[in-house]
Structures are given as C-alpha cells and as structure tokens.
Amino acid sequence: MPDYCEICGRRTEKFIILPIKQPNGDLDTLSCAECATKSSAYCSIHQAIHLGYPDGTTACPACIEEIVASEGAVIGSRVLRNADLADEYWQQLLEWARDVQEITRETGIRVVSRAITSYALRFNLSTDQVIKMVAVDGPRIILPPIII
C-alpha cells in the first residue's frame, strides 16, 4: 500500500478511499483528506464519500435517501404505472425488486424509486428524465448489471 495520496502525490498517514477507477485498472483511489473533499466522488452537502458503481459513476447515498424519503412514493408509482408486464426486462425489474424487498423489508415502490434516483444522480439527470427514459426504453438501464 502506498504512503502517498494517489491524486496529488503528497505523503499522508491517513487515507480516504474514493470510488474512482484509476488508469491502471484499480477500482479505488487512495486520497488525502484535501483531495477527497475536492473530488467529484465527495458530497460537500453531507460531507461524505459517494458510492461507486461498476460503470465508474458515483452518487451520494445520503442524497439518494433524501430524495427517496421525500419523493419515493411518487417516483416509484409513476414508473410502475408505465410497466409493460409482458416485457422480459420489466419481469426482471419486478423480480429484482422482490429480492431486494426480502433483504430490506421496504416496499417495491421504494426499491424502484431508489434505483431511479440513484441513476438520476449518477448521470446528473432529474428523476423525471429517468422515468421518461424507462418508459421509452424499458427498465434495463436502472437494473444492476449483474441482473441483465
């Protein structure tokens, strides 16, 4: 393990692990506190490190939860209202949501809302934009890559 920040190169004794893929293929970056707070993978509102996703995007988990708490029922129900239950990807979404429900004990609406919100924050879109994308292209874009 290096004894320097992988962003600025300064020596440091304490590291913050950022979910930023490096050119050498490493999936995380070891950072000093100063570089971490300047990073795109840091939320200055919540003073927290983002979650990392397999495609290299990130989003603040506290921001996701705030939106889900305030708008989750509306977001989830708008998505499911457009569902084509005969479509394979919609079936996968519903099956995935049921599996997540078993673990989290949350409603399917909340699970789907969190997926929509996470995608929106990762790609700097509004939840309305993502809902429209899902309505046109199906839910494949919000499913975790392991499901598809």
Q: Once rounded to an integer, what is the mean pLDDT over residues 66-82?
A: 86
- What's the rounded Cα separation, in Å, for the pair 25 and 52? 14
pLDDT at residue 98 is higher than 70: yes
Q: What is the CA radius of gyration of the chain?
A: 18
Give yes or no for a contact between 127 and 137, defined as CB atoms under 8 angstroms apart.
no
The residue assigned the tokens 């993502």 is 130
The confidence score (pLDDT) of residue 146 equals: 61
User: pTM for the full model?
Assistant: 0.84
Taking each helix axis from N to C terminus, what angle separates 108-122 and 88-104, rounded to the nearest 10 degrees?
110
Q: Is the pLDDT of residue 89 over 90?
A: no
pLDDT band at 39, cuts 50/70/90?
Answer: very high
The structure tokens listed for 127 are 């939840």
- pLDDT value of position 94: 84
Is 101 in contact with 107 (CB distance < 8 Å)?
A: yes
CA distance 116 to 108: 12
Closest Cα partner for 52 from 22, 20, 24, 23? 20
pLDDT digits (tens, 9 = 90+) for 122-135: 999 999 999 888 88
Mean residue pLDDT of the chain comes to 87
Strand partners, 16: 31
Q: What is the mean pLDDT of residues 23-32?
A: 86
